[in-house]
Structure 1
Amino acid sequence: MRFTPFLIGPLAPPVGPSFTLTIASSVYAPNIRALAIAAGWDEEELLVVNITAPIVGALNLGSTPFPGGVTLNIGASSTILGRRGAAGRTGAYHGTAGGPALTTRVFVTVNNAGEIAGGGGGGGMGATVGIQVEERSRSVVGGNGGAGAGLELGGTTQMSAQSGVDSGPRQWSYSSITFASGWAEGGDGGDGGGLGEAGAQGTGGSFGGDVSSYSRSEWGFGAAAGAAVDGNSYVTWQSAGTRRGALIN
């Protein structure tokens, strides 16, 4: 007969038959099952995963059950972190969503003394504004959005959220006789979201002066943040710790 262990601290030893796998170095998307088997786990005992590494990116426990169960202990100096969302830019106006920190479709007990944080969403690009003054056309390209906070795909260095780019105004004067002039300002890019936060939408820009006609391109939407946990219904929280982002599914 197997007994579910009771943990009284972030790295407390389990009670009953178990195998312990320690993740001590920062890593992106580790295959916990494969690592445990390579380290000698018999694929039947309770698997206890102690995370003491500074950063573990995009941790996915998969959907194949662990016969003896799995317990995840996250140390006080460790962070489970999602991929950052990309910024909106020319050709791809909208930001992209951040990635989840922890994904599971297997039942797991989590004792979190550290942090679990989804990646921030990317900010949208600002609009490009075009004007026509005295039959002359000019345009100002909108600013790029900012990338969200989190990890680059495959990386283990935590990146801060980026600010969107301010397009800035431009002005043109066309005639020394009529003094006709006009100005346009492209939209500002939206800021990237912090950990567990959505990115901001770009702005539409503006124009003024002796403008006979104008155009305005699409501007980008800010994207959603990655979830702290995708598969929360599978998680038994022994200690919630710090969680940034939604708890879904």
Structure 2
Amino acid sequence: MSGILSMMFAGQMAALTLDISNRVNPDVVSLLNAAGWAGVQHPVILVNNGLVNTLNIPSSLNGADLTLINAAGCRIGGLFSGGTALITRAAIKVQNLGILSGGGGAGGIGGSAWVRRTLSTGASQYASGSGGGGGFGQGFLSGSLTISSAGAASSGSTGYLAPSGSWGPGDPGRAAAWAYGGYGGDGGAWGQTGNYGGSGQAVGDYDTGEGYADRAPGLAGFYVDGNSYVTWLATGTRLGRVQ
């Protein structure tokens, strides 16, 4: 069977090597069973020679002798905007010669703003500006081995109150006012928190108004969730958070 090697030496069961390269969230248990895995007494070596979009080692594999080899130049990564690369709930030895990378965090959303004034005629004027959207963080697209680059943010919108003379008679001395929505923040690269956007601003001749702070960007994803289960044989390149 391609990618699967099993041998016996001196009456002891040798490791079953399972190639998980170029898979999306591979079901490791099902793949092992299909390969004839004999259970926890049968050592396992998981090998990635390409790309893996999210790897989950479930608790049902606890007690097995598990080793993960991520080859040089190869990547196990999380989904865009903060996904986790490796999740493990079973003890595992990891030889990372390549890259483990959590998804980059999404950029922050820009702050909104508004302005309001009342003319002597009793007419009320109101304008608002919306904050720009944050860009997506770098990572794998859902269900795919396609890697999305960190996305650029969008600019905010602007609300405007014209000088009051433009509205007809009354209060000709009122000047213009603006409600500037803040720009969004760009998404983060692999393993990086997203960028902050800008705050909203109320500017000009208004009676009441406010600009709001931008929303915090998304955090980077974890390169590993379950680090207490991991024995690092080689750390390689690890990008993102760990828990």
Q: TM-score range by the shorter chain?
A: 0.7 to 0.9
Residue from 215, 222, 235 that aligns with 2:230: 235
Q: What SS class does the counterpart of residue 73 from structure 1 fall into?
A: strand
8 Å contact kept, 1:45–1:67: no
1:155 aligns with 2:150: no
Q: What SS class does the counterpart of residue 146 from structure 2 fall into?
A: coil
Once the 2 structures are TM-superposed, how far is the Cα of residue 217 of structure 1 from its aligned partner? 5.2
Counterpart mapping for 1:27-176 below 5 A: 27-43=23-39, 44-53=41-50, 55-85=51-81, 98-133=82-117, 134=119, 135-167=124-156, 169=158, 171-174=160-163, 175-176=165-166
Q: What SS class does the counterpart of residue 228 from structure 1 fall into?
A: strand
Deviation string for 1:166-186 (max 9, x for gaps)?
Answer: 226554423254362112210
Which deviates more, 209-218 or 134-143? 209-218
8 Å contact kept, 2:80–2:136: yes
Provide the TM-score with structure 1 as the length reference: 0.81
Deviation string for 1:212-236 (max 9, x for gaps)?
Answer: 1114456422121111111112111
When the two chains are superposed, the root-mean-square deviation of aligned CA atoms in Å is 2.3
Deviation string for 1:81-104 (max 9, x for gaps)?
Answer: 01122xxxxxxxxxxxx1211011
Residue from 204, 223, 237 that aligns with 2:218: 223
Gapped regions of structure 2 (runs ≥ 5): 1-6, 167-171
Q: Distance in 1 between matches of 2:63 and 2:181?
A: 58
Bigger-Rg structure (1/2): 2
- Give % identity: 35
- Alpha-carbon distance change, 137 to 71 in structure 1, aligned in 2, over 3 angstroms: same
Once the 2 structures are TM-superposed, how far is the Cα of residue 129 of structure 1 from its aligned partner? 1.0
8 Å contact kept, 1:18–1:48: yes
Once the 2 structures are TM-superposed, how far is the Cα of residue 154 of structure 1 from its aligned partner? 2.1
8 Å contact kept, 1:163–1:192: yes
Which deviates more, 177-186 or 70-79? 177-186
The one-letter code of the counterpart of 2:111 is A
Q: What SS class does the counterpart of residue 64 from structure 1 fall into?
A: helix
Q: Tell me which residue corresponds to 1:202.
A: 197
Gapped regions of structure 1 (runs ≥ 5): 1-12, 86-97
Provide the TM-score with structure 2 as the length reference: 0.83
Once the 2 structures are TM-superposed, how far is the Cα of residue 38 of structure 1 from its aligned partner? 0.8
